[in-house]
Structure 1
Amino acid sequence: MENQSVWLGGLRGPVRLGMIGFTGLALVTFVILIVSQFVSAEPIGMYEMIRPAGRPLAMLMLFSLAGALLFASVYLSDTVGPIEERPSGFFDYISLVASRLAMISIAFVVIVMFYEVVSRYAFNRPTLWANELSLWIASFIFLLAGLYAMQQRSHIRIYVIYDMMPRAFQKTADVISVLLILLFTFTLVWGGFNDAWTRMLRMETFGTAWDPPLPGTVKPAILIIIVLVAVQAVSNLIADWNKAPEHHGHDDIDEHEIETLRRTLEDK
């Protein structure tokens, strides 16, 4: 990724310090939780972690983890990869932060599944929560990835007719596409709001042994993020309005990828 600041500017340093501070606090709290498993009469496990009321240590762990994820996502969004679309719209920075959160979350899924495999097959002690936690995290990864894909203009599109149009017709097609996205968003929110609101208010759970509130969190998140996707689509339309005509030939060459392959071969 490029090292220069994309949007934080002078705030890059303080955000980095916040990321380090919250991460350190989360690690210290995690170590304390591990030690408490052996010395405490009432250790805090994964069941208690999603029911932190009256458990200050669990609340501290969740708070520090949330802070670490937030600051890390903001800090990492301040750089873009060589093949990433640089932010140009009014909503792009929010989507970049969300994308970094999704990227970090993938690592958490890997860690959870690795722990489950080792616990199950090496120690014959499978967990009750690993599968559901990975599903929970993956649900948000999927949703946030959709927002990121919209910001990057990387959703599947068919350009056969679009590339043949003059720029004025391309703009018309873009407007129609955004209007359809807005219509879909409106109908989805209109039809699903009451159900999502009810599930969120009662924090509906999954009905399993660990019983996480998947329906009570994922259902509202679907509506929230689809609204963000629609806002991002409008942002893209405004940012791309004065761009030159687009042409998406299948023979386009990715110079960065070629250079990466060349360096890899030279290193060997």
Structure 2
Amino acid sequence: MEQKHGTPIEWLMPLAFCTVFGWVVWHTPAFILDFGPENQQLAALYARLDVSPGLAPLFGGYGDIIDYGALLLSPLIFIGGVMTVRRAPMEFESWRAIDRVAVFIGRITMMLIVLLTSVMIYEVILRYVFEAPTLWANELSLWLAGFVFLLAGLYAMQQRSHIRIFLLYDAVPRWLQRVFDVVSTSLIVIFAAALIYGGYGEAFAKFMRWETFGTAFDPPIPATLKIMVLVIIALVAIQAVINLISDWNAVPVVHTAADDIDQDELERLKAAVGNEGVGELDVTRGAIQGNQSEHK
């Protein structure tokens, strides 16, 4: 995947998806009522939630032209975002075409963080400057934070940035490392299958009745996040299998405590104290592998 990044399309696609899909999520009761059983309680809830009550519903149901337009646009924008996403220089270098899905979801997560921060700043200004706090900012922040937490897990899996302990892994030969990889991936898949099997019934019930948070703003946090947990854990399991296949023939990597050191920061330190002052302290992966090559 190309390293060219930062173009406007890479900002616009995740922002457009968040906007359109956000509309779909907020108006999901209309689709439940149109395609599911009659539910007077849900119909009353949707009458209160509907952002565009003046538009006539399509097909004699509840959803209007904006609702169905957003529903059709969401997958199109998602596919467009997957096709246009580019790897940033600091991201994992090994790519398959299917990895684009996780990376674009990562871009959506980044955009959600921007939106979450904007909501919090807006609330702080209104609360402490104008003394007019909102009724929705706190619950909206919790809702967005829940999505960020879940979506970031998939991105972390694709980037191989999840927490791992390499003490035993680095001490064994490559064939045994592959065995460890198969075992860990199998455990992830089994856990995902068990979670989906055990949680599907409750999640589906909360979704169909569009269970809300029970506050003044009353967002559908239980209805959406319960389903999202199952979707994300399934995607994480799939991504774990993809990682296993992609890394099967990868060259073994030496892991050190300095893996998280910022290389740019290290170069600035070297420039400040001189290379002589850090010669023996250079414990980066490149330095260690270079020293090992010299001693062979």
Same fold (TM over 0.5): yes
- Which position in structure 1 is the counterpart of 2:85? 78
Q: Any idea what the Cα deviations from partners look like across 1:166-191, whole Å, max 9, x if unmatched? A: 11000000000000001110111011
Q: Which amino acid aligns with 2:4?
A: Q
- RMSD, aligned CA: 3.9
Which runs of structure 2 are paired with 1:173-188 in the superposition (5 Å)?
173-188=180-195
**Offset at residue 83 of structure 1 (A):** 1.9
Q: Secondary structure at the match of 1:174?
A: helix
| 2:133 is the alignment partner of 1:103 | no
Cα separation, 1, equivalents of 2:262 and 2:15 = 39
AA aligned to 1:121 is: Y
Provide closer, same or farther for how the CA distance between residues 235 and 185 of structure 1 changes in structure 2, counting only shifts above 3 A.
same
In structure 1, how many angstroms separate the alpha carbons of the residues matched to 2:268 and 2:16? Answer: 35
Partners of 2:258 and 2:10 lie apart in 1 by: 41
Deviation at 1:215, TM superposition (A): 0.6
Aligned residue number for residue 226 of structure 1: 233
Distance 1:215 1:159 in 2: 37
Misfit runs of 4+, over 3 Å:
15-23, 47-50, 55-60, 70-73, 251-264
How much identity, in percent, do the aligned residues show? 43
Match status 1:258 vs 2:276: no
- Provide Cα deviations, 1:182-231, integer angstroms capped at 9, x if missing partner: 11101110110000011111111111111111111010000000100000
Matched letter for residue 174 of structure 2: R
Separation in 2 of the partners of 1:82 and 1:114? 30
Give, as a single letter, the amino acid of the residue that structure 1 aligns with 2:53: G
Question: Using a 3 Å threshold, how does the CA distance of structure 1 residues 103 and 48 change in structure 2: closer, same or farther?
Answer: farther
Cα offset for 1:21? 11
Q: How many residues align structurally? A: 233
- Which residue number corresponds to residue 294 of structure 2? none
Q: 1:137-189: CA deviations, max 9, x gaps? A: 11000001000100010111110110011110000000000000011101110
Question: What runs of 5+ residues in structure 2 fail to find an aligned partner?
Answer: 21-45, 56-63, 273-296
Higher normalized contact order (CA 8 Å, seq sep 6+, divided by chain length): 1
Check conservation: 2:4, 2:88, Cα contact below 8 A: no
Q: Which amino acid aligns with 1:186?
A: A
> Is residue 14–residue 111 contact of structure 2 (8 Å, CA) maintained in 1?
no
Distance 2:215 2:133 in 1: 15
Partner in structure 2 of residue 212 of structure 1: 219
Distance in 1 (CA, whole Å) between partners of 2:87 and 2:51 is: 36
Residue of structure 1 in register with 2:53 after alignment? 54
Q: Which has the larger radius of gyration?
A: 2
CA distance in 2, matches of 1:143, 1:20: 16
Provide Cα deviations, 1:69-123, integer angstroms capped at 9, x if missing partner: x569927962322221035235311100110000011111111111111111222
TM-score of the aligned structures, taking structure 1 as reference length: 0.73
